[in-house]
Amino acid sequence: MAQVTDYRNDIRPNWCPGCGHYGVQAAITDAVTQLDISPEKLAVISGIGCSSRIGGYFYAYGAHTTHGRALPYAQGVKLANQDLEVVVCGGDGDAFAIGMGHTIHAFKRNVNITYVVMDNHVYGLTKGQTSPRSDIGFVTKTSPHGSFESPLPICETAIAAGATFVAQGYMINRAELVELIKQGMQHEGFSFINVFSPCVTYNKRNGYDYFKENLTSLSKIEGYDPSNRAEALKTLGDYQGLLTGLIYEDTTKPCFEKALADANGGPHARALVHDVVKPDATMF
Ligand code: SF4
């Protein structure tokens, strides 16, 4: 049985004291421990940003890729070795700005990996600029009079783009977040978990007090049905996206790997499903 210490290496995180990302790292560690995924079966792939340092703090396979490009890399890892559990990590700038093209296609493509985004509504590594998730009125060096753009409604965007697992967590609510990550990893297809993870250095507006006052857990909404797409979109609108829990899950759509195999049964498909691709003359 796996232990929490199995995933520790000798690198100490250098996030600021109080950064939310410590809690996300702990929650991912708890989830893979409880699912008994040993380090040699785990790959943690990240992009660029404070949050993306996380891959270096796990004892597991991993790659710290380029800005916004963690998802194509991670999908390649999964398709090349389907025995690996692949967890992709990044921040809201990495995921929803420079990487948004890849994110949208990952939502619709449905490769069987898990994407944990640490959403603090700001760019931290580059010292505090507005991100696609920043609130209207948020004052930064790049928005001295306050941001006047609407924050991207990312969960609605994910559902609209065809995502089959959309959840949102708060790193302070560790038990709920661990369960969401476990559910996401067990979901057959692409699972997206947006995690509110405060930046205590560059975002004083959306700190711990803000999330405590404004977040509502879906467990408090009686009769909420995450398989109902229309209800998910309406509830997100009703709460301006400030929800935690499993927002939407579609278990009817096959993951990319299965869909590819079913599509034509050709040599590429068989190779992808049953074995690592071994090119031969018949494939070209
Ligand atoms: Fe965390 Fe913000 Fe510090 Fe980056 S700048 S480590 S996001 S608190």
Residue with the nearest Cα to atom 5 of ligand 1? 124
Weakest mean pLDDT among 95-99, 139-143, 208-212: 139-143
21 Cβ contact list (under 8 Å, min separation 6)? 13, 15, 50, 51, 53, 54, 118, 171, 197
Is the pLDDT score of 219 beyond 90?
Answer: yes
198: which 2 tokens?
């405060």
What is the C-alpha to C-alpha distance for residues 206 and 91, in angstroms, rounded to an integer? 15
What is the C-alpha to C-alpha distance for residues 148 and 275, in angstroms, rounded to an integer? 50
Instruction: From the CA of 51, give the closest atom in ligand 1.
Output: 7
User: Regarding the domain with residue range 4-253, which homologous superfamily does it belong to in the CATH classification?
Assistant: Thiamin diphosphate (ThDP)-binding fold, Pyr/PP domains (3.40.50.970)
Q: Residue 261: what pLDDT? A: 84
SS3 64: strand
Q: Which of 12, 14, 15 to mutate to test the pocket of ligand 1 (most atoms within 8 A of CB)?
A: 15
| Total residues found in the chain within this entry | 284
Instruction: For 77-103, write each residue's pLDDT tens digit.
Output: 999 999 999 999 999 999 999 999 999
Start-to-end Cα distance in the chain:
44
SS3 78: helix
Residue 279 pLDDT grade (very low, low, confident, very high; cuts 50, 70, 90): low
pTM: 0.93
Query: What rounded mean pLDDT belongs to the chain?
Result: 94
The two beta strands, 165-170 and 243-249, are: antiparallel
Residue 159 pLDDT grade (very low, low, confident, very high; cuts 50, 70, 90): very high
Alpha helices of 81-226 — where are they, by DSSP H? 92-93, 100-109, 154-161, 174-186, 208-214
Is the pLDDT score of 274 beyond 80?
Answer: no
Bridge partner list, 140: 143
Identify whether the C-beta of residue 129 lies closer than 8 Å to the C-beta of residue 141: yes
Instruction: For 30-81, write each residue's pLDDT tens digit.
Output: 999 999 999 999 999 999 999 999 999 999 999 999 999 999 999 999 999 9
Q: Residue 269: what pLDDT? A: 52
Residue with the nearest Cα to atom 1 of ligand 1? 19
Exposure of 245 in the CB half-sphere (CA atoms within 13 A): 19
Q: Which of 121, 202, 205, 206 to mutate to test the pocket of ligand 1 (most atoms within 8 A of CB)?
A: 202
Residue 239: how many other CB atoms lie within 10 Å: 15
Q: Which residues line ligand 1 (CB under 6 A)?
A: 15-16, 19, 21, 50, 120, 124, 199-202
Instruction: For 169-199, write each residue's pLDDT tens digit.
Output: 999 999 999 999 999 999 999 999 999 999 9
Q: Residue 99: what pLDDT? A: 98
